[in-house]
Amino acid sequence: MIQGLKLDDGRLHACDPQRAQVLWFSKPDAGERRLLLERFHLDEHAVASALDPDEISRIEFHPDALFLIWKRPENYSGKDSFSFDVSSFGVLL
């Protein structure tokens, strides 16, 4: 799924993806992955890394872009055994 966002008064607002300043890809299908590869000149490894829930957090500096893989907390359970679940996301700037 692709969601378009625009920056207005310091906040992101939903808009048509064709006019968006920011594109949010969530669980991209094959066609959306192809768009990431062709329009944004990403390689297969970068796309796979951004979508891999087990990917290690990191920042990659490229001549014309910054690629960020980051973990965010999902939930925490301290009942019987301590569990801290995270999910990964990727950002291309």
Domain identity same for 3 and 35: yes
**88 beta partners:** 71
Write down the pLDDT at residue 64: 82
Distance CA 23, CA 36 (A): 10
DSSP per-residue codes, 71-89:
EEEEEEE-SSS-EEEEEEE
Number of structural domains, the chain?
A: 2
Domain identity same for 28 and 3: yes
List the domain range (segments joined by +) for residue 89.
Answer: 56-93
Closest CA to 4 of 32, 20, 28: 20
Residue 88 forms part of a structural domain: yes
Amino acid identity of residue 78, one-letter, is G
Write down the pLDDT at residue 13: 96
Unique residue bearing structure tokens 């607002």: 13
Residue 8 forms part of a structural domain: yes
Higher pLDDT, 20 or 81: 20
Q: What is the pLDDT of residues 3-26, one digit of tens each?
A: 999 999 999 999 999 999 999 998
CB 35 within 8 A of CB 17: no
Q: What is the pLDDT of residues 45-76, one digit of tens each?
A: 888 888 887 888 899 898 888 888 887 777 66
